[in-house]
Structure 1
Amino acid sequence: MLAPKSQRLLESCERHGVSFSEADWQDHGAPCLLSDYLLQQLERHPKWLAAVTSKRQDWQPSLSHFYGGEQHWLAPESDPDNSTMSAVSSIADMPEWDEATFMRQLRWYRHYWMVRLIYADINQAIELETLTRCLSLLADTVVNASVIWSQRQYQNLYGQALDAQGKPQSLIVIGMGKLGGYELNLSSDIDLIFAFREHGETQGGKKSTSHQEYFTKIGQKLIQHLDQVTADGFVFRVDMRLRPFGQSGALVLNMDSLENYYQDQGRDWERYAMIKARVMAGSEQDKKEFEAIRRPFVYRKYLDFGAISALRDLKGMIAKEVRRKGIEHNIKLGEGGIREVEFIVQALQILHGGRNQGLQNQALFQVLPLLAEHDYLPQQEVDLLLDAYRYLRRVEHALQGARDEQTQLLPSDPVERELLALRMGENSWQALDQRLWDYRHQVHGFFKSLIDDPEETSCDESAQEAWRVMLKQPDEEHLAEVLATIPWHAVDDTINRVYSFVSSKAVVFMQPIGQERLATFMAAFVKALEDEQHPDVVVERILPILEAVLRRTSYLVLLCENQSAITHLIRLCRESVWFSEAISTTPALLDELLDAHALFSPPSKQDLQIELDQILNRLPEEDEEAHMDALRRFRRSIILRIAACDITGILPVMKVSDHLTWLAEVILERVLQQAWHYLTQKHGYPIRDGEPRLTPELIIVGYGKSGGWELGYDSDLDLVFLHDADGKGATNGQRSVDNLTFYTRLGQRLIHALTSFTAAGRLYEVDMRLRPSGNSGMLVASFAGFEEYQKNEAWVWEHQALCRARALAGDSDLMSRFEDSRKAILGQVRDRIELKQSVIEMREKMRAHLDSGGKDKGFDLKQGAGGIIDIEFMVQYLVLARSHEFPQLMRYSDNVRQIEAAAEVGLLDLDTAEYMRETYKEYRALVHRLNLQKLGRVVAEDTLSQHQQRISQYWEYFLQNADI
Structure 2
Amino acid sequence: MQEIQESANDSHWQQWCDWALEQGLEVPRDQAFTAARARVWEGSEFVALTAARHPHSLAELLESGALRRASSAEQMSERLRAALAEVADEAQLQQILRHFRRQQMLRIVFRDLAGWAALDETLEDLTALADSCIRESLRLLEPWTRAELGMPEDGHGRPQSLLVLGMGKLGARELNLSSDIDLIFAFPSAGRVAEGPRELSVEQFFGRLCQRLVKALNAKTVDGFVFRVDTRLRPFGDAGPLAMSFDAMEGYYHSQAREWERYAMTKARVVAGPPEDQADLEAMLRPFVYRRYLDFGAIASLRHLKGLIDRELRRKGMADNIKLGPGGIREIEFIGQSFQLIRGGREPELQVRPIQQVLALLGDKGLLEPDTVTELSAAYRFLRLTENRLQAWRDEQTHSLPSAAPARERLARSMGYAEWDAFAADLDAHRARVQRHFDEVFADPDEPPRTATSVACLWERAPEQAEALTLLEAAGFEEAESAWRAILDFHETADRRGLSNRGLARLGLVMPRLLEEVAACGAPDLTLGRVLKVLEAVLGRTAYLDLLAEHPDALHQLVRLSAKSPWFGERTARQPLLLDELLDPRRLFEPLHRAALEQELDQLLSGVEASDLEQRMERLRQFAEGNRLRVAAADVTGAIPLMVVSDYLTEIAEVTTARSLEIAWHDLVERHGSPPGTDRTAPGFSVIGYGKVGGIELGYNSDLDLVFVYDEACAGTMTEGPRPVASEQFYVRLGQRLIHVMTTPTYSGVLYEVDMRLRPDGNKGRIARSLASFADYQVESAWTWEHQALVRARPIAGDPRLGERFGRVRAEILQRAREPEPLREEVRSMRAKMRANLDKTRAGWFDLKQGAGGIADIEFMVQYAVLRWAREHPDLTRWTDNIRLLETLIRLGLLADAVGADLTSAYKALRAAYHRRALQDTAGLVEEARLGLERAAVIAIWHQLMAS
The TM-score, its normalising length taken from structure 1, stands at: 0.56
* Rg (Cα) greater in structure: 2
8 Å Cα contact 2:760/2:774 also seen in 1: yes
The answer to whether the aligner puts 1:839 opposite 2:827 as a matched pair is yes
Q: Aligned-pair distance for 1:496?
A: 1.8
Taking only aligned residues, the RMSD between alpha carbons, in angstroms, comes to 4.3
8 Å Cα contact 1:559/1:566 also seen in 2: yes
CA distance in 2, matches of 1:483, 1:886: 65
CA distance in 2, matches of 1:497, 1:656: 34
- The aligned counterpart of 1:827 is 815
8 Å Cα contact 2:455/2:515 also seen in 1: no
CA distance in 1, matches of 2:802, 2:693: 18
* Distance 1:312-1:881 versus aligned 2 partners, 3 A rule: farther
Residue of 705, 710, 721 corresponding to 2:692: 705
Q: Aligned-pair distance for 1:685?
A: 2.1
Structure 1: where are the runs of 5+ without partners? 1-23, 43-48, 54-119, 128-177, 191-307, 325-331, 354-368, 381-445
- The aligned counterpart of 1:552 is 541
Residue of 768, 783, 797 corresponding to 1:795: 783
SS in 1 for 2:276: coil
8 Å Cα contact 1:502/1:508 also seen in 2: no
SS in 2 for 1:503: helix
Q: Aligned-pair distance for 1:320?
A: 4.0
Superposed, which structure 2 residues align to 1:174-189 within 5 Å?
Answer: 186=276
CA distance in 2, matches of 1:370, 1:851: 70
Superposed, which structure 2 residues align to 1:263-274 within 5 Å?
Answer: none
Superposed, which structure 2 residues align to 1:291-690 within 5 Å?
Answer: 316=339, 319-320=342-343, 322=345, 340=351, 342=353, 344=355, 346-347=357-358, 374=385, 453-454=441-442, 457-460=445-448, 462-463=450-451, 470-471=459-460, 475-477=464-466, 479-480=468-469, 483=472, 485-504=474-493, 506=495, 509-688=498-677
Q: Aligned-pair distance for 1:567?
A: 2.5
- The aligned counterpart of 2:152 is 30
The answer to whether the aligner puts 1:875 opposite 2:862 as a matched pair is yes
8 Å Cα contact 1:471/1:507 also seen in 2: no
Summarize deviations over 1:727-785 as a string: whole Å, max 9, x none: 11111212111111111111110000111011111111111111112112111111111
Superposed, which structure 2 residues align to 1:42-441 within 5 Å?
Answer: 186=276, 316=339, 319-320=342-343, 322=345, 340=351, 342=353, 344=355, 346-347=357-358, 374=385
CA distance in 2, matches of 1:794, 1:932: 36
Q: Aligned-pair distance for 1:693?
A: 7.6
8 Å Cα contact 1:455/1:562 also seen in 2: no
- The aligned counterpart of 1:866 is 853
Summarize deviations over 1:23-56 as a string: whole Å, max 9, x none: x9997653243xx6x85xx9xxxxxx9xx99xxx
8 Å Cα contact 1:699/1:723 also seen in 2: yes
* Distance 1:825-1:187 versus aligned 2 partners, 3 A rule: farther
Summarize deviations over 1:214-241 as a string: whole Å, max 9, x none: xxxxxxxxxxxxxxxxxxxxxxxxxxxx
CA distance in 2, matches of 1:756, 1:375: 57
Q: Aligned-pair distance for 1:531?
A: 3.5
Q: Aligned-pair distance for 1:349?
A: 6.5
Q: Aligned-pair distance for 1:609?
A: 0.6
CA distance in 2, matches of 1:694, 1:655: 29
CA distance in 2, matches of 1:123, 1:625: 42
CA distance in 1, matches of 2:638, 2:783: 41
* Distance 1:820-1:842 versus aligned 2 partners, 3 A rule: same
Q: Aligned-pair distance for 1:473?
A: 6.0
CA distance in 1, matches of 2:356, 2:816: 64
8 Å Cα contact 1:723/1:782 also seen in 2: yes
Summarize deviations over 1:461-506 as a string: whole Å, max 9, x none: 6459996894486753564465464111112221122122223353
Structure 2: where are the runs of 5+ without partners? 1-145, 163-204, 214-267, 281-330, 365-379, 392-433
Q: Aligned-pair distance for 1:832?
A: 1.4
8 Å Cα contact 1:517/1:556 also seen in 2: yes
CA distance in 2, matches of 1:905, 1:189: 64
Summarize deviations over 1:505-535 as a string: whole Å, max 9, x none: 5368433332222222222223334433211
CA distance in 2, matches of 1:559, 1:583: 13
CA distance in 2, matches of 1:188, 1:954: 72
- The aligned counterpart of 2:95 is none
Aligned length: 599
* Distance 1:850-1:467 versus aligned 2 partners, 3 A rule: closer
Summarize deviations over 1:811-848 as a string: whole Å, max 9, x none: 11111111122111111221112211111111111111
> Partner amino acid for 1:798?
E
CA distance in 1, matches of 2:683, 2:859: 34
- The aligned counterpart of 1:9 is none
Superposed, which structure 2 residues align to 1:715-726 within 5 Å?
Answer: 715-724=702-711, 725-726=713-714
Summarize deviations over 1:630-678 as a string: whole Å, max 9, x none: 1111111111111101111122332110011000000011001111110
The answer to whether the aligner puts 1:806 opposite 2:817 as a matched pair is no
* Distance 1:514-1:808 versus aligned 2 partners, 3 A rule: same
CA distance in 1, matches of 2:760, 2:708: 10
The answer to whether the aligner puts 1:930 opposite 2:917 as a matched pair is yes
Summarize deviations over 1:572-604 as a string: whole Å, max 9, x none: 111111111111111221111111110001111
Summarize deviations over 1:423-449 as a string: whole Å, max 9, x none: xxxxxxxxxxxxxxxxxxxxxxx9x99
CA distance in 1, matches of 2:471, 2:273: 58
* Distance 1:911-1:378 versus aligned 2 partners, 3 A rule: farther
Residue of 724, 729, 737 corresponding to 1:741: 729
8 Å Cα contact 2:662/2:680 also seen in 1: no
> Partner amino acid for 2:642?
V
8 Å Cα contact 1:467/1:519 also seen in 2: no
Moved more, 498-507 or 866-875: 498-507
* Distance 1:188-1:801 versus aligned 2 partners, 3 A rule: farther
Q: Aligned-pair distance for 1:942?
A: 1.4
CA distance in 1, matches of 2:793, 2:735: 19
* Distance 1:933-1:818 versus aligned 2 partners, 3 A rule: same
Summarize deviations over 1:778-800 as a string: whole Å, max 9, x none: 11111111112112221111110
Residue of 684, 690, 701 corresponding to 1:714: 701
CA distance in 2, matches of 1:636, 1:544: 18
- The aligned counterpart of 2:871 is 884
> Partner amino acid for 2:851?
G
* Distance 1:370-1:687 versus aligned 2 partners, 3 A rule: farther
CA distance in 2, matches of 1:960, 1:316: 65
8 Å Cα contact 1:479/1:499 also seen in 2: no
* Distance 1:28-1:833 versus aligned 2 partners, 3 A rule: farther
CA distance in 1, matches of 2:622, 2:638: 24
CA distance in 2, matches of 1:902, 1:767: 30
8 Å Cα contact 2:455/2:516 also seen in 1: no
* Distance 1:621-1:370 versus aligned 2 partners, 3 A rule: farther
* Distance 1:488-1:313 versus aligned 2 partners, 3 A rule: farther
Moved more, 550-559 or 629-638: 550-559
SS in 1 for 2:609: coil
8 Å Cα contact 1:769/1:775 also seen in 2: yes
8 Å Cα contact 2:686/2:795 also seen in 1: yes
Q: Aligned-pair distance for 1:317?
A: 7.5
